[in-house]
Amino acid sequence: MSAYANRAYIDKNYKPSRNDVVVEYYMEPYRVQFWKAAVYVAAESSIGTWTTIKTMNPKIAKKLRPTIFYMDSKKNIIKIAYPHELFEAGNMPQIFSSIGGNVFGMKSVKNLRLEDVSYPKVIIDKFKGPRFGIEGIRKLTKVYRRPLLGTIVKPKVGLDEKQHAKIAYNAWVGGLDIVKDDENLSSMSFNKFKKRIELTLKMRDRAEKETGEKKIYMPNITAETIEMVRRAAHVKMNGGEYIMIDILTAGWAGLQTMRERNDKQFIHAHRAGHAALTRNEKHGISMAVLADAARLIGVDQLHIGTAAIGKMHGSKEEELALLKDIEYKKIFANPKLHVLEQRWYNIKPVMAVASGGLHPGMVPKLIRTMSKNIVIQMGGGVTGHPDGTLAGAKAVRQAVEAYYAKEGYDVYKKKYPELYKAIKKWGRG
Which residue, 5, 4, 16, 163, is CA-closest to 83?
16
Which of 173-182, 248-257, 362-371 has the weakest average pLDDT? 362-371
pLDDT band at residue 409 under the 50/70/90 scheme = confident
Q: What percent of the chain clears pLDDT 90, i.e. is strictly above it?
A: 76
What is the enclosing helix (H) or strand (E) of 72?
Answer: strand 67-72
Percent of the chain with pLDDT over 70: 88
Residue type, 334: N
> What pLDDT, on a 0 to 100 scale, did the predictor assign at position 159?
96
Contact indicator for 153, 159 with CB cutoff of 8 Å: yes
- The beta strand positions in 156-260, using DSSP E, are 178-180, 216-218, 242-246
Average the pLDDT over each of 26-35, 49-58, 416-425 and give the range with the smallest value.
49-58
3-state secondary structure (DSSP) of residue 266: strand
Q: Strands of 178-180's sheet, edge to edge?
A: 216-218, 178-180, 148-152, 374-378, 351-355, 301-303, 266-270, 242-246
Q: Give yes or no for residue 392 having a pLDDT over 50.
A: yes
Average pLDDT, integer, range 22-30 = 97
- C-alpha to C-alpha distances, 308 to 176, 207, 338, nearest whole angstrom: 23, 33, 18
The mean pLDDT value of the chain amounts to: 89
CATH of domain 7-124: 3.30.70.150
Instruction: Tell me what percent of the chain is helix, strand and coil, each rounded to the nearest 5.
Output: 45, 15, 40
Q: Which pLDDT value is given to residue 57?
A: 74
Tell me what pLDDT residue 51 has. 63
Which pLDDT score is estimated for 307? Answer: 55
Rounded to whole angstroms, the Cα distance separating 128 from 150 reads 27
Quick check: 372 pLDDT over 80? yes
Give the pLDDT mean for 381-408: 96
The per-residue pLDDT for range 235-283, each reduced to its tens digit, is: 999 999 999 999 999 999 999 999 998 879 999 999 999 999 999 999 9
Pairing of strands 178-180, 148-152: parallel
pLDDT tens track for 299-316:
999 998 765 454 444 444
Give the strand pairing for 148-152 and 374-378: parallel
Whether the bond between 16 and the residue before it is cis, its omega within 30 degrees of 0, is no
Q: Could you tell me which residues are beta bridge partners of residue 2?
A: none
Number of Cβ within 10 Å of residue 86's Cβ equals 19
Report the catalytic residues: 154, 270
* Stronger pLDDT, 412 or 170, i.e. the higher one: 170
The third-level CATH classification (topology) of the domain covering 133-426 is: TIM Barrel (3.20.20)
pLDDT at 18 over 70: yes
Give pLDDT, residue 327: 33
Res 265: pLDDT = 96
In the chain, CATH 3.20.20.110 sits at 133-426
Residues of the chain with CATH 3.30.70.150: 7-124
| Res 5: pLDDT | 59
Q: Is the pLDDT of residue 225 over 90?
A: yes
So what's the pLDDT on residue 55?
A: 67
| Single pTM value for the model | 0.90
pLDDT at 387: 98
Average the pLDDT over 381-400 and give the result. 97
Q: How far apart are CA 81 and CA 397, in angstroms?
A: 47
Q: Dihedral sign, CA of 56, 57, 60, 64?
A: positive
pLDDT tens per residue, range 31-63: 999 999 999 999 999 877 666 766 667 777 778
In the chain, DSSP finds a helix count (H) and a strand count (E) of 17, 13
Position with higher pLDDT, 318 vs 350: 350
Rounded to whole angstroms, the Cα distance separating 176 from 147 reads: 11
Q: Measure Cα distances from 405 to 14, 368, 402, 409 in Å.
A: 54, 14, 5, 12
- pLDDT, one tens digit per residue, over 206-218 is 999 999 999 999 9
Overall average pLDDT of the 382-390 stretch:
97
Give, in degrees to the nearest 5, the angle at Cα 27 between 12 and 342.
75
Q: For 317-344, write each residue's pLDDT tens digit.
A: 554 444 443 333 333 333 334 567 766 7
Is the pLDDT score of 396 beyond 90? yes
At 429 the pLDDT is 72
Most confident of 200-204, 279-283, 373-377, 405-409: 200-204
For range 84-97, the mean pLDDT: 95
